[in-house]
Amino acid sequence: MQQKDSWLLPEGIEETLPAEAKHLEALRNKLLDSFACWGYDLVIPPFIDFLDSLLIGAGHDLDLQTFKLTDQISGEMLGIRADMTPQVARIDAHNLKHEWPTRLCYAGTVLHTRGDPLEKTRSPLQIGAELYGHGGKESDLEVICLMLEMLAVTGLQNVHLDLGHVGIYRALAEQAALSEAQESELFAILQRKAKPELLELMDGYALGDGLKQMFLALPELNGGQTVLDKASAVLAQASAAVKQALADLTAVAGQLAVRFPNLAISFDLAELRGYHYHTGIVFAAFVPTVGREIARGGRYDNIGEVFGRARPATGFSADLKLLSALSKQSFQMPARELIFAPYLDDAGLTESIRDLRAQRRAVIQELPGQTGGAGEYGCTAILVQEQQRWVVKAL
């Protein structure tokens, strides 16, 4: 039997080589510094966790994406995180236990059993921020603004924001007294935006004409700012909860238009991404060069309930690898000074190299008998001896 090449990697698993790793780490630090300026504290959840903890809230939707294994110590089922949000919610609810709003951010690798159809990687580097303890539209606005700030720091241009509110569909389903099975069936059809199927389904439901017309109108309620006016008219007979959700969405969109006058904003009231997870406003960011969202988020209240505290929450996440790849098209990292030092048994040389490194200046020292020198390493300067002193000379 032929042995496979030992250098091969599993499908969707990548190595990050030096130039890309340098760019990736620089962007990571830049974005986390930006989050810190907004008051978001960094947390580092474990890469592996009890499966039950990973399958809270959004975790149920991620069940098929989660690698599972048995802990040889406890015998419990463990999972490799496919999303960090449930873990961060546990930190807020169980470890920090603040009574005031808590702002947390994170950056780390997650692992998926299958890659996205458009993005084949199965090991995204997830970066995101979460705001716990405030249930108002103001916190939704804050995290959307922070996501847009993240994209601006990344250097992305022509960002398009898509807004929705899963609370509209939830409240309509409650008003219509749909059973759980009916709600799920209707949800699936709305996700496909299959109008003929939707018409047939509505004919089979014992609903009043007003409710039927509101459900039938949902797939049509997508587009620009005029969608909100159209929705107000179409949903005029809806419950107070529907109208409040629409009012909150309108208020957030209005504030975004003031703060970002050049931002392209669209609305889709039948977009129910993460429906079984999100509870309110949902949002996603797009750029013309990528065929899917580059960042996404929304409100997911009460996720911490299983950890002992049901706190309102809203947040977003993105794949830092994707952001890094896109940012290379927008700006180049400045070339870093790299100093080449000869190999000599010289106390003055050793001290000079130590001093330079203490100043955060990069020094590569030659090894005896090695092949290659300053040019092969891409060094920008060399350490030379002049009048019994070691000095840095540009190449």
For the chain, what is the mean pLDDT?
A: 90
Q: Which residues, 6+ apart, have CB-to-CB distance to 373 below 8 Å?
A: 340, 366
- Complete DSSP assignment for 171-223: HHHHHTT--HHHHHHHHHHHHHT-HHHHHHHHHHS---HHHHHHHHHGGG-EE
What average pLDDT does the segment 130-150 reach? 96
Q: Which amino acid is at 282?
A: V
Between 215 and 72, residue with greater pLDDT: 72
pLDDT at 125: 96
DSSP tag of 81: -
Say if residue 329's pLDDT is above 70.
Answer: no
75: left (phi over 0), alpha (psi -120 to 50) or beta: left
**pLDDT per position as a tens digit, 176-231:** 888 888 888 888 888 887 788 888 888 888 888 888 889 888 888 989 999 999 99
Q: What is the pLDDT of residue 198?
A: 86
Q: How far apart are CA 60 and CA 54, in angstroms?
A: 8
pLDDT of residue 144: 98
- 229-268 pLDDT, tens per residue? 999 999 988 999 999 999 999 999 999 999 999 999 999 9
pLDDT single digits (tens) 350-384 = 999 999 999 999 999 999 999 999 999 999 999 99
- Residue 89's H or E segment, with its range, is helix 85-90
Give the per-residue pLDDT at 333: 65
The strand pair at 102-109 and 222-223 is best described as unpaired
Average pLDDT over residues 69-83: 94
The pLDDT tens digits of the residues spanning 286-320 come to 999 898 899 999 998 877 777 777 889 999 999 99
What burial class does residue 150 get, using C-beta atoms within 10 Å of its C-beta: 0-12 exposed, 13-18 middle, 19+ buried?
buried
The span from the CA of 209 to the CA of 293, in Å, is 36
Q: What is the pLDDT of residue 56?
A: 76
Name every residue whose Cβ is closer than 8 Å to that of residue 77 and which is 6 or more positions away in sequence.
50, 51, 52, 68, 69, 70, 71
> Tens digits of per-residue pLDDT, 17-71?
998 999 999 999 999 999 999 999 999 999 999 998 888 765 456 888 899 999 9
pTM strictly above 0.75: yes
What was the pLDDT predicted at 5?
80
